[in-house]
């Protein structure tokens, strides 16, 4: 049986390591479920979620040329589509809005962010220099 990327299969956990779990697939091949692909939330200890001999449903993420198979348990689970909240009907006349309610946040370019960061950084560095020089004598003291 050939393993195809994207297919969902039943497998049996054959081994657990600190970085993931090995799962035996139909046909005798073995794949690895990385610890980040075990559950939707953070997994500190994989033993809290899996143990050797567990039957799990996995999704094939990748099959490498050297035969390594990457698997995911969390992507194999069918997630229900998120429900969209319906907006209430609006009356025919427009509502009054305050001056700030109708404005969207302005997109800031990377260059603007970088220049603001550099300016703040230089101000902090200058302030730090002033404070440390005044405490240890700095330029204001004359040597003999």
Domain with 12 in it: what CATH number?
A: 2.40.50.140
Q: Which of 22, 47, 72 lies at the terminal end of a domain, its last residue?
A: 72
In whole angstroms, how far apart are CA 83 and each of 36, 74, 89, 97, 125? 26, 20, 18, 29, 50
Per the structure, the count of domains in the chain is: 2
End-of-domain residue from the set 56, 72, 88? 72
CA-to-CA distance for 3 and 61, rounded, in angstroms?
10
Render pLDDT for 29-61 as a digit per residue (tens, 0 to 9). Answer: 999 999 999 998 898 999 999 999 999 999 999
Asked if the structure places residue 96 within a domain, the reply is no
Asked whether residue 90 is domain-assigned, the answer is no
Q: Is residue 141, in this structure, part of any structural domain at all?
A: no
pLDDT of residue 86: 63
More confident residue, 54 or 99: 54
Q: Cα 79 vs. chain centroid, distance in angstroms?
A: 18
- The verdict on residue 38 lying in a domain is yes
**Cα 71 to Cα 75: distance, rounded to the nearest angstrom:** 9
In this prediction the pTM is 0.53
Q: Among 55, 72, 89, where does a domain finish? A: 72
Residue 30 lies in a domain: yes
User: Is 80 part of any domain?
Assistant: no
Residue found by looking up tokens 């209430």 in the block: 88
Say which residue, 142 or 35, is predicted with more confidence: 35
| DSSP per residue, 98-134 | -TTTTPPPPPPPHHHHHHHHHHHHHHHHHHHHHHHHH
The mean-pLDDT minimum among 9-13, 30-34, 105-109, 123-127 falls in 105-109
Q: Mark whether 18 and 64 lie in a shared domain.
A: yes
Tell me the two tokens of residue 58. Answer: 């996995």
Inter-residue contact 22 to 71 (CB < 8 Å):
no
Q: For residue range 100-111, list pLDDT tens digits in order.
A: 555 556 677 888
The whole domain housing 19 covers 8-72
- For residue 60, is it within any domain? yes
């Amino acid at each position: 049986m050939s393993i195809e990327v994207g297919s969902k299969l039943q497998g049996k956990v054959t081994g657990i390591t600190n970085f993931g779990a090995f799962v035996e697939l139909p046909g005798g091949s073995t794949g690895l479920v990385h610890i980040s692909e075990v559950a939707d939330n953070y997994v500190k200890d994989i033993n809290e979620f899996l143990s050797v001999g567990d039957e799990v449903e996995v999704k094939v993420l990748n099959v490498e040329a050297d035969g390594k198979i990457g698997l995911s348990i969390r992507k194999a689970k069918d997630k229900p589509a998120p429900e969209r909240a319906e907006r209430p009907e609006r009356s025919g006349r427009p509502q009054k809005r305050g001056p700030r309610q109708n404005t969207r946040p302005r997109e800031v370019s990377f260059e603007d962010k970088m220049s603001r960061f550099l300016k703040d950084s230089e101000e902090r560095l200058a302030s730090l220099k002033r404070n440390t020089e005044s405490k240890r004598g700095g330029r204001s003291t004359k040597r003999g």
